[in-house]
Amino acid sequence: MNRKFLFVVLCIFVVISGCSNQVAAGSVKTQQNQMNSHQNNSSEEKKSVFETVPNGFRVVTVGSGNPKTEINRGAPSTLVQFQDKFFLVDSGANTTSTLLKIGLPAEKITNMLFTHQHVDHNGDFWNFFIDGWQGPTGRRSLNLIGPQVQELYDITVNFFKEDLEYRASLGWPKDGLLTNVNIKDFTEDKYNFELDGVKITSIPVPHTVPTYAYRFDANGQSIVISGDLTYSENFSSFAKNADILVIDGMLTSDYTDVPEQARENLKNGLKKSHATTEELAKMAADSDVKKVVLTHIGLGKVDNKNISAVFADAGFKGEIIAAEDGLVINP
């Protein structure tokens, strides 16, 4: 009887041990799969869209967020690429690091344009300006364009005077930093100029400080970047038939990240400086653009269902895209 009992106990022990080994083996396999998956993702992340050169335009929403710091969104910044040339419009927080993450170090960009001088649109300028210049492969020329850019440049080089002199003493030329910097400071109502093979047009748009929208035209394609704005009757003709319109979508989110008691007051206050979804839809429909990219996203989730309905009611027939950091849009 004792032998039978011991035999049964031994069998149970063997079965339990076998099951434990199988569970352990399954865990190792899962971890290995996760590791392999991570390795595959890492190799995929090394592939940058900038390894190829487009025949025409390419647009990247580098930062798609708003003035409030968020984990998943950087502050507003949009990259316009034409063939092998780059035009950076605004440089909000995280711009320089996001550019590097997606495969485009700041040193490759020699055209920096600003829609306006609010901190969420220029907060990373110092990083872009200095980091893109320093080092043996840093940029050696820079075009600064937009409202108040002369003041922004003067403040920067004066405040960091000793820092910049120290960095230059390491052996880097001052071109692209203190020399060979071309500044076009906007003070008028309209600008037309050509840069790196692209015709650039700019007009003022209504906001709380001097703010400009940009239109880029080349090879039969057009890209328009709105900047922050409220409704403007002039904007639709400015953006007419553009392939891509990147526009201020601050009021297209549901603001669920804001306490309910403050939500409506905030949204009503923002209507004084940002277009409503209905106003965006009218400007997009009247301009007959092919793709609308909503950026400068407010707090909370983008209300896609409501946006689609409002744009459809306005007669817009193109594509609507909610921006994300690093999102690539082709005409």
What is the tens place of the pLDDT at every residue in 293-302?
999 999 999 9
d(CA 136, CA 224): 34
Q: What is the mean pLDDT of the chain?
A: 89
**Is 97 contained in some domain?**
yes
d(CA 81, CA 64): 17
Element (H, E) at 67: none
Q: Answer yes or no: is pLDDT of 199 > 90.
A: yes
**How many other C-beta atoms lie within 10 A of the C-beta of residue 197?**
11
Q: What is the mean pLDDT of residues 18-31?
A: 34
Work out how many domains the chain is built from and give that number.
1
**Is 164 contained in some domain?**
yes
> Domain range holding 120?
52-329
**Is 246 contained in some domain?**
yes
- Taking only the tens place, the pLDDT of each residue in 92-110 is 999 999 999 999 999 999 9
- Taking only the tens place, the pLDDT of each residue in 143-190 is 999 999 999 999 999 999 999 999 999 999 999 999 999 999 999 999
Q: What is the mean pLDDT of residues 45-68?
A: 93
**Is 318 contained in some domain?**
yes
**Is 226 contained in some domain?**
yes
d(CA 212, CA 193): 14
Percent of the chain whose predicted confidence (pLDDT) is above 90: 82
d(CA 300, CA 271): 17
- Letter string b/e over residues 306-327, b meaning 16 or more CB atoms within 10 A of that residue's CB: ebeebbeebebebebbbbebbb
Q: Answer yes or no: is pLDDT of 3 > 60.
A: no
**Is 34 contained in some domain?**
no
Band (pLDDT 50/70/90 cuts) for residue 29 is very low
For residue 69, what is the domain's CATH number?
3.60.15.10
Element (H, E) at 322: strand 319-322
**Is 78 contained in some domain?**
yes
The pLDDT value recorded for residue 47 is 85
**Is 46 contained in some domain?**
no
Residues contacting residue 233 through CB under 8 Å, at least 6 positions apart: none
CA-based nearest residue to 251, from 226, 288, 279: 279
Q: Answer yes or no: is pLDDT of 42 > 70.
A: no
Residues contacting residue 291 through CB under 8 Å, at least 6 positions apart: 243, 244, 245, 318, 319, 320, 321, 329, 331
